[in-house]
Structures are given as C-alpha cells and as structure tokens.
Amino acid sequence: MTIQLTVFLLYFVVLFVIGWMAMRSTQSESDYWIAGGKLGWLVGGATLAATHCSAGTFVGTVGVMHSVGWSFGWLVLFIPVSYWFLAAVLAPRFTRQRELTLPAFIETRYYSKGVRALAAIIILVATVVYIQAQIVAGGLIANVILGVPTQWGMIGFTAILIGYTMVGGMIAVVYTDLVQLVVMTLGAILAVPLALRSLGGLGETLRYAEVVNPLAFSWDSMAPSLLFTIALAFSLGTVATPEKLVRLYAMKDMRTIRRGVLVAIVFATGINLLVFVLALASSVLFPVLPTGDLAMPLIARAAVPPFLGALLLAAITAAMMSTVDSLLIVAGSALAHDIYGSYVSTSASPRSRSIINRAGVALVGTVPLLLLLSGVGEGELVQFIVLLFTALMGASFFAPVVLGVFWRRATREGAAAAMLGGVSATFLWKAFGPATIDPVLPGFVCSTLLLLVVSRLTPPPPSEALAPYFD
C-alpha cells in the first residue's frame, strides 16, 4: 500500500507541476482552448492516443471481455480505419479554417448562432454522461489503492482533474496526456508478461480461459448485430467526437496531423491489444466478480508485484484522466465560449473571459460528480456508459461535420434537424429499443436522412458560409 500511495503521490505532483507551467504559458483564449494551434506531431499524436484510451479501455473493455470473451476484441480493427478517415479524408477540408471549438465550426459552416448553441448544449449533455463513467472508475481505483469508500474516491479524483485542467487549459492537457500515454504504455507492456507467467504462459492462459468460460473464443457470447453496431459507434465516434476534432485545430498543419494520427494509431491499437490479454488473464484469475469493472484493478493489486501493480493502477488512472481532462476542455469551451461568449457577453474583457473559461471547466466537472453522488448513473458497466457517449456524438455530429465539408447543399436547417434527430433517436433507442442493436445505428440513420432531406427542402447556404471549405 505504501508503494502504491508513493507512486500515485509522485504522479499527481507531476500533473500539477505541468498544470502550473502551462498556466504561465497560456496567454490567450487560443492557447487555453487549442494550445495556440502549435502542437507538433509527437505531442499531437500522443494527446490523441491518450484521449482515445480512457477508462473504457483499461476498465470497461476488460470488464466486458471478462464477462463475454474475446468477441468484443474485434473492435480494435476499426481504430486504424477510423483514424485514417479522420486524417486523410476529413482533416484536409475541416482544418482549412481554424476554429477554437466544434460549435464554432458549426456556426461558420451553417451561418447560425442558434445552431452553434444547439451543438454546445448537446456536447454538454453528452459530456456529463461520459465523465460519469470515468469518475466511477476513479472511485473504484481509489477504493483498491487506499481502501477509502468509492464515493470519497470519486470526489478526490474529480477535484484533481478539475484542478490542473482549470489552471492550465489545453496546454496542460496535452502535456499531461504525453506523460499519461507513457505511463499507460509502460504499465500495459510490463503487466502482460507477468500476468501470463503467473498462469503458466500464454498457452495455459488460453486453455484456462476456455474452461472458465466455454464461450470465451466464440461469437455466441454477444449478438452479432450488437457487435457490429458497437463497432459502428466507435468508428463514428472516433471521427466525430469534439475532443478529437479539436485536436486537429491544435496541430500546426496537415503534415503534422498526418504524422500525429499515425502515432495515435500505433499507440491506441497497441495498448488495446495488450489490454485484451489482461482481460483474458482476469477471467482466469478472478472468474466470479460482482462487476466486471473490478477485474483490472484486481489484476494490479493481486497478480503482479507491488511496484508494477502501482504502475498499472497509475496507467488505469492516466487513461481516465487523459480523457476526462480533454472532455472538460471541450465542454468548458462549449459553456464559456460558445454559449456565454456568443450570447451573454460578447464584449467581455480578456480577464473576464479567462475567469469564465475556468469557471466553465469547474462547473462541467462538478455536475457529473453531483449526479453520481445523488444516485443518477450508478450500476452500469463503464464501457456501456462510454458507448452511450460515443453513440450520441456519432449520431449528432458525424453527418453535419462530414457532409458539411463535402456537400455544398447542407443547410443550417438540415444541420439543426440532424443534430436534434440524432440525439433524440439515440436516447429513445437506449430507453426503449432492443438491446441487440446499439443506439448509434438509429441515431446515425435518422441524423443523416434529416440532413439530406431538410437541406433539400430549405434555401441553399450563402456563398460566404461555403467559401472557407470549398473555394
């Protein structure tokens, strides 16, 4: 316990030092929201990969695969395909005009502050859902490390995240992401051989896993329709989630983006494959658990030496923090920049806007915690909370963003209908639809059809809205 606590204290000290140094480097709103648009390929790629590897990877994926087996693992094939689309197809047009936020792009392309506000509200709602999953995982880790009640762990985890993100903005986020990616990679690389050795090697692990769960290596543990639509959710989410799109604005140019995305593909894919092996080992080491989300923390505590266990727990924490800090920036910008800055006070001084920016980050980070403490959102596996967020983002923004830069006829009315229809269909399917199909499918189909049909029925966009992306 002493070793684990020491490792974590050093880790958090490093994060706060980076946050403090980032605050001194933050001179403008551009610095705060997109790191001044000056990121190189290594830091840019690292922050993309770290943002991709969340609690959904280290806790959620292990939890699901502990329960259903390796059929869930085929989703890793969609990581390189989705990032290739992001860099090779979307980025060259999307980044022709640099914005500070995704809703700002929506306003520029769809010539409407109202549509921008709608995008910001959707981001805020979906982010609350996603951050809840990470806070739940943070509480579990604190319970394993310190033995404190899970609720107190969630409070401490949230306070640390809000602290360094609020102070340093995007500059703090990207450099802490680089540190966190290193921690994640080392933790996974070192843990896999030790976990396998404790079970007699890879061959014995595979044999034991099939004994524990006869469906571990079959396609019968999850409905094929659910596996396919979950893959669709991750693919659309990789392309259309705001925290990844904003990374494109934060990197210097297209050459940097292409190299950065290659870094993200290598690390995100590699970490996922290592985590799959740990998931397999967990099903053998801990065949019966009250929730699959405990599998990874228990591996770190019981299956590897204390120092490496501390490093693996730090890797899990890094995965959570690297995603939540990115979402705090995105949601804080939606609240402070896209709603307050566009509607409430368009002429606020730079100092006032800086205060509002930080207050927005603090507010967005606190609301999910308060909801969890009041009992809203408890009890579901972390990975499925992550999937709901991904479905909401893919259904709401994929069509308006991608068709917006490739189809001249897309209109503000069509974009508004697409976003509203996508988020509504996703929530309705989640509440009432069959569980064998992920909500992203009806949400995405509804969003795309509404954009196409409503855009054709409304007046074409003005030339000044098209010029940045088509001329």
pLDDT at 345 (0 to 100): 63
pLDDT at 292 (0 to 100): 64
* Residues in CB range of 122: below 8 A, 6 or more apart: 392, 396, 397, 419, 423
Nearest to 39 by CA among 29, 47, 28: 47
pLDDT at 463 (0 to 100): 92
* Whether 318 contacts 184, CB under 8 Å: yes
pLDDT at 363 (0 to 100): 80
Nearest to 205 by CA among 302, 280, 286, 296: 280
pLDDT at 4 (0 to 100): 64
- Render each residue's pLDDT in the chain as its tens digit; 471 residues: 566 667 767 777 777 777 677 766 777 777 777 777 788 999 888 888 888 876 667 777 777 777 777 777 777 888 899 999 999 999 999 999 888 889 999 999 999 989 999 999 898 888 877 777 777 777 777 776 667 777 887 888 788 777 767 766 777 777 877 877 887 788 788 888 888 887 888 888 888 888 887 877 877 778 888 888 988 988 898 888 888 888 899 898 999 999 999 999 999 899 888 888 888 888 888 877 766 667 777 777 766 677 777 777 777 777 777 677 777 777 777 777 777 766 666 666 666 666 777 777 788 778 878 877 776 655 555 566 777 888 888 999 999 999 999 999 999 999 999 999 999 999 999 889 898 899 999 999 999 999 999 999 999 999 999 999 997
Rounded distance, CA 341 to CA 320, Å?
A: 29
pLDDT at 377 (0 to 100): 55
pLDDT at 159 (0 to 100): 81
* Whether 91 contacts 254, CB under 8 Å: yes
Strand partners, 251: 39
User: Which domains can be identified in the chain, with CATH numbers?
Assistant: 2-382 (1.20.1730.10)
pLDDT at 55 (0 to 100): 63
pLDDT at 242 (0 to 100): 87
Rounded distance, CA 164 to CA 17, Å?
A: 9
Structure tokens at 145: 């490390």
Single-letter residue type at 378: E
pLDDT at 1 (0 to 100): 53
Structure tokens at 79: 């990581």
